[in-house]
Structure 1
């Protein structure tokens, strides 16, 4: 998959998902709320800008906007971005160009200048790419952060159900996993700890935590790495 072009079938998959899966992804995960509270408590109204990679229909943008941050988001799905804007409008949250900047595009070529953001976040979005695209996206995240800016990511780990299903196209990356939380994805990458240290090695500091939960009566294991990195 070309990291600078959005594969048509992949784009269609996400467009259809967001258009048909009502009520999905309505609220931010507690790990993101904790990250923002720990690192930016009381600073929301200081004009801080936060970018979300793979914002989808905007649950995290909604939370950040409610807290007073200026927000930006990028996704390959125009449907998802329309839903995100409509949600903010419905709650009378600011959607002018100073407070909200939504772009259809590819993570590996972010359409913002160097040092544009105080924080960049992603929640289970970066994984849906081959490793080359992930590397380029992390380099773009680093570029778009201000000096001292923070990144937060919630990334699927190898312990997740389905990480050994589908077709392996490179270490850790699967095409069409057929079970677990990533079932149906054209591409899914499952990270390990050593790999994360290597991928984020260009940041000044790095913190890696993890959470494991089960679903569907403990039939499904969902393992997430929680990555915090400072430029």
Structure 2
């Protein structure tokens, strides 16, 4: 699966975020800001959307690569990079990130912000294996994924294990969403030599809206 065409409708019908989340900035800062030559660092984002994270990464001097299923998302990302950061290095491709068009051990880091979570469990396991393949030894993955308990979990049509076409909450109308239980994280990240994770939650009027796992893994 890797991508649902509902995202083409989303990216062509509504304004999307222009700036990266604090969690992504923190991951990059902790792992790569100390390097003198950022031009030597290649970072891949899977499911990059209109390119908020790519804009940030290119602005900070890194080589940026991306695989996005929505043609409109790719077009918007490339247009912003070309306009605001002429001379940026890398490429943004339209494609399926379940089969990455890159050699093994190509990237220093891979970023996933709620893209893998749009896939059933078995497919997600395979995607993380593919991410592991393209990372250099010691390379790092940052992945943010919806957790069990997010508003909309276990609503709408059930597709597979913990995966739904939700009818309420932030994922309603956005195709399949898989909600990860804490004890499933180790299975998802099994190929990696080590991993850690934390919780990011947002509530409104004392109602939990989103709960996400912020996972970092090392090849």
Q: TM-score range by the shorter chain?
A: over 0.9
Aligned partner of 1:63 in structure 2 is 56
Report the Cα offset of residue 170 of structure 1: 2.1
Structure 1 distance, partners of 2:27, 2:40, is: 18
Aligned partner of 1:77 in structure 2 is 70
- Mapped contact 1:180–1:220 kept (Cα < 8 A): no
> Aligned pair 1:213/2:202, yes or no?
yes
Report the Cα offset of residue 89 of structure 1: 1.4
> Aligned pair 1:19/2:12, yes or no?
yes
CA RMSD of aligned residues (A): 1.5
Structure 2 distance, partners of 1:71, 1:92, is: 12
> Aligned pair 1:54/2:42, yes or no?
no
Aligned partner of 2:148 in structure 1 is 158
Structure 2 distance, partners of 1:171, 1:32, is: 28
- Mapped contact 1:65–1:93 kept (Cα < 8 A): no
Structure 2 distance, partners of 1:228, 1:45, is: 20
Structure 2 distance, partners of 1:92, 1:129, is: 32
Count of aligned pairs between the two proteins? 218
Structure 1 distance, partners of 2:130, 2:195, is: 17
- Mapped contact 2:125–2:187 kept (Cα < 8 A): no
Aligned partner of 2:216 in structure 1 is 228
Structure 2 distance, partners of 1:74, 1:227, is: 20
Report the Cα offset of residue 220 of structure 1: 4.9
> Aligned pair 1:106/2:96, yes or no?
yes
- Mapped contact 1:115–1:145 kept (Cα < 8 A): yes
Structure 2 distance, partners of 1:33, 1:93, is: 22
Report the Cα offset of residue 218 of structure 1: 4.5
Structure 1 distance, partners of 2:104, 2:147, is: 30
Match of 1:144 among 125, 129, 134: 134
- Mapped contact 2:148–2:180 kept (Cα < 8 A): yes
Report the Cα offset of residue 132 of structure 1: 2.3
Report the Cα offset of residue 211 of structure 1: 1.1
